[in-house]
Amino acid sequence: MRHFLTLADYTKDEILEILELAAKIKNETKNKNFKEYMPKQTLGMIFEKSSTRTRVSFETGIYQLGGIGLFLSSNDIQLGRGEPMSDTSRVISRMVDMVMIRTFEQSKLEEFAKYSKVPVINGLTNEYHPVQLMADYMTIQEAGLEKDLVVAYVGDGNNMAHSWLNMAAKLGFELRISTPKGYEVDENILNKALEDAKQSGAKISVGNDPKEAVKNATVVTTDTWVSMGQEDEKEQRLKDFDGYIVDNNMMKIASPKAIFLHCLPAYRGYEVSEEVMESEQSLIFQEAENRLHAQKGVMVWLDRQRNIAL
């Protein structure tokens, strides 16, 4: 049985296989051909942080696959009152068929997975956001930009930056990350990506000059400067990220065919300008929709792996 905790646990072939499955199911869905790949299955969806896209896409996704989603907010379940992850996991995973969790430390997700009888999917942790990257890469494929792909990530060295590192390292494309000083990506995650890059041929660079990173890039992407749980640091962060806005001037340095991606929610006037958000180059809403399709691919793939293992 497999879990989906980080892309670092996946091979290039597996990632591409899931994306192929996702594209097939997207096409079927667009033709109103709702195949019940997971009939009567229940997806437990545990949220310790807020969400719009993750909640709606997983709940709709499992329903369209023939199952049902259970929204479990930590405000409502006993986890929020101190019941351990290990107990929560052993209880919930005896009743549902798959679990998605959005939580704080990756170690909490790993703890749940360790005790779970069913596949567990990372719906965002402080360290990673792998399902978002599946949707992002699906959008890149649809835009026809897979070949000679150069991604520039401008902003905070956060969960999104880390998942971009994982994806580039596995698939072998060029990734340039630019963060302000003091907001660099985690060193261990970077080193693991650099190690994997030796095999895949990925070109990975990190630095503090956003203009240098964006030069001729075919994808420009960013994320909020203040992630969930960092609200207390907001004032300082807004000062420290000065000059990191992705605006028209920044987009002009990129390749003329470049697209703009953002996992959303976006804060206009901070990490990205209104013009870039609303420009022709911005594929943010297609990207958001692809959360639904990419995650169906992940769920069906995990379900198949479990059936093979049984």
Q: Which of residues 110-129 bind ligand NVA (CB under 6 A)?
A: 124
295 binds ligand NVA (CB under 6 A): no
Active site residue 230: no
Active site residue 129: yes
Active site residue 286: no
The size of the chain, in residues, is 310
Distance in angstroms (rounded) separating the CA atoms of residues 200 and 175: 13
Active site residue 209: no
Active site residue 64: no
Query: 227 touches which of ligand NVA, ligand CP, none (CB within 5 to 8 A by kind)?
Result: ligand NVA
Query: Tokens 């996702």 label which residue?
Result: 22
Those residues with Cβ within 8 angstroms of residue 43's Cβ, 6 or more apart along the chain or in another chain: 58, 59, 62, 67, 68, 69, 70, 96, 97, 98, 99, 100, 299
Task: Kindly state the smallest distance separating residue 125's Cβ from ligand CP, in Å.
Answer: 11
- The kind and range of the H/E element at 154 are strand 150-154
284 binds ligand NVA (CB under 6 A): no
Task: Kindly state the smallest distance separating residue 20's Cβ from ligand CP, in Å.
Answer: 23
292 binds ligand CP (CB under 6 A): no
**Alpha helices, H only, the chain:** 12-30, 53-64, 85-92, 106-115, 130-142, 159-171, 187-200, 210-214, 234-240, 248-253, 274-277, 284-309
222 binds ligand CP (CB under 6 A): no
264 binds ligand CP (CB under 6 A): yes
224 binds ligand NVA (CB under 6 A): yes
Distance in angstroms (rounded) separating the CA atoms of residues 170 and 126: 21
159 binds ligand NVA (CB under 6 A): yes
Q: Which of residues 112-171 bind ligand CP (CB under 6 A)?
A: 124, 132
**Amino acid type, 30:** K
Residues near ligand CP (CB under 6 A) are 51-54, 124, 132, 263-264
Residues near ligand NVA (CB under 6 A) are 124, 158-160, 223-224, 227-228, 263
Catalytic residue numbers, as ranges: 102, 129, 132, 223, 263, 291
